[in-house]
Amino acid sequence: MIAFTEEQEDLRAVVRRFLADRADVRARLDSGEGHDLAVWRQLADQLGLPGIAVPEEYGGSGGGPVELGIVLEEMGRVLLPSPFFATVALVGQALTASGDDAAKSRWLPGIADGSLTATLAVAEESGRATDLTTTATGGTLSGTKMFVVDGHTADLLLVVARTGLFAVEGTAPGVTRTRLETLDRTRRLARIDFDGAPAVPIGESPPRKALDLAVVALAAEQVGGAQACLDMAVGHAKVRVQFDRPIGTFQAIKHKCADMLLAIEAARSAVYHAASAGDELPVAASVAGAYCSVAFTHAAKENIQIHGGVGYTWEHDAHRYLKRAKSSEQLFGAPAAHRARLADLVGI
């Protein structure tokens, strides 16, 4: 088990209470934006969450990856449809780590106060982040990016290209954005085509660091989703009666729940080690990416199993967690890809 400070537990409690009243996933599934703009403004104006991991000099609260991980866990727990993950966890972290003072001064204050939404474009048409074909020439960018989180509405696009990281305005000439039909309707993805779009180079750090930070952020969200699945399963097992006994009293159900708990605690340990890994970030991110994807999918499947037929119905949320788990599993690399990279990094 991981021990958090009193302040970190208070942060978790505040975010959980806020989301309990406002995270109506079903209400936003058919909206054009895919999220509730009023909730986004409340997150910014009342809680200041977009600035949670932004340095104070750029208008943020100066928290670190651990605090950001706590917020993402809580958002993952309720499958919150929100530009928070793309804007804060992906772009906010990438800009903060970029070492580019001009870029940070230009965009981080808008992220911190919630007036700017952004996203990170990584995968190519092949679906992979390797063998990049997106190129920058003479201050313009050309190529195609796929599966861009909230790419259909983001104000700022941070694009991983062959020669580095580039910023493109979402409404710039030469940018065409198309929302994709996806398995997981709680997270909107887009295809973005760049045809000579004006682009600004970002930072001195290689794009790989931005990708590692994205993997760790996603892993934190996956832990929250997995924990929600366990809580749902345990709650159902306490009240569902078969043969005059709650099903939770049967050994098989106890074993399933115990195995889920162990996997989630291990996943949580992997995430928070990665969040403070420093120079070991590449190795820690690969471990978290591989383990947390498997843990979330396992918990989502077991939750449906314990719910029996109830978990398969459209009206129940159990299937939404499985769809989120499967989509997240592929978002920044499948578990096998993370394990292969880990083997390369440690020299196996």
142 in the same domain as 126: yes
3-state SS, residue 192: strand
Please report the pLDDT score of residue 204 as a whole number: 65
171 in the same domain as 197: yes
169 in the same domain as 265: no
Please report the pLDDT score of residue 78 as a whole number: 93
- Tell me how far CA of residue 291 lies from CA of 261, 271, 298, in angstroms: 14, 9, 11
Total domains in the chain come to 3
Residue 78, both tokens? 């309720």
Please report the pLDDT score of residue 99 as a whole number: 87
Q: Which residue range forms the structural domain that includes residue 245?
A: 206-344
* Distance between CA atoms of residues 25 and 78, nearest Å: 8
Helices (H), ranges, 25-81 = 25-28, 37-45, 65-77
User: What are the φ and ψ backbone dihedral angles of 137, each rounded to 5 degrees?
Assistant: -140, 125
* Distance between CA atoms of residues 225 and 186, nearest Å: 12
Please report the pLDDT score of residue 279 as a whole number: 86
- Residue 163: DSSP 8-state: T
Domain edge (last residue) among 77, 111, 145 = 111
Query: Which residues make Cβ contacts (< 8 Å) with residue 43, sequence separation at least 6?
Result: 18, 49, 50, 82, 84, 114
210 in the same domain as 162: no
**Token pair 């048409």 in the structure block, residue:** 125
CA angle 302, 65, 88 (to 5 degrees): 85
Decide: 208 and 276 in contact? Cβ < 8 Å: no
Domain edge (last residue) among 111, 134, 152 = 111
| C-alpha Rg value of the chain to the nearest Å | 20
Cite the beta strand spans of the chain per DSSP E: 118-121, 135-137, 140-149, 156-161, 164-169, 175-179, 189-198, 200-202, 241-242, 245-246
Please report the pLDDT score of residue 193 as a whole number: 97
Please report the pLDDT score of residue 29 as a whole number: 67
226 in the same domain as 335: yes
* Distance between CA atoms of residues 134 and 145, nearest Å: 8
226 in the same domain as 298: yes
174 in the same domain as 79: no
Decide: 155 and 170 in contact? Cβ < 8 Å: yes
CATH no. for residue 61?
1.10.540.10
165 in the same domain as 130: yes
Please report the pLDDT score of residue 277 as a whole number: 84
Cite the beta strand spans of 49-139 per DSSP E: 118-121, 135-137
User: What is the model's pTM?
Assistant: 0.91
Written as tens digits, the pLDDT of the chain (348 aa) is 567 889 999 999 999 999 987 666 666 666 666 778 888 999 999 999 999 999 999 999 998 888 999 999 999 999 999 999 999 999 999 999 888 999 999 999 999 999 999 999 988 887 776 677 888 888 999 999 999 999 999 999 999 888 889 999 999 999 999 999 888 988 999 999 999 999 999 986 556 888 898 899 999 999 999 999 999 999 999 999 999 999 999 999 999 999 999 999 999 999 999 988 888 999 999 999 999 999 999 999 999 999 987 777 878 889 999 999 999 999 988 999 999 999 999 988
Amino acid at 282: P
Domain edge (last residue) among 92, 111, 130 = 111
Please report the pLDDT score of residue 252 as a whole number: 96
CATH no. for residue 126?
2.40.110.10
Please report the pLDDT score of residue 28 as a whole number: 65
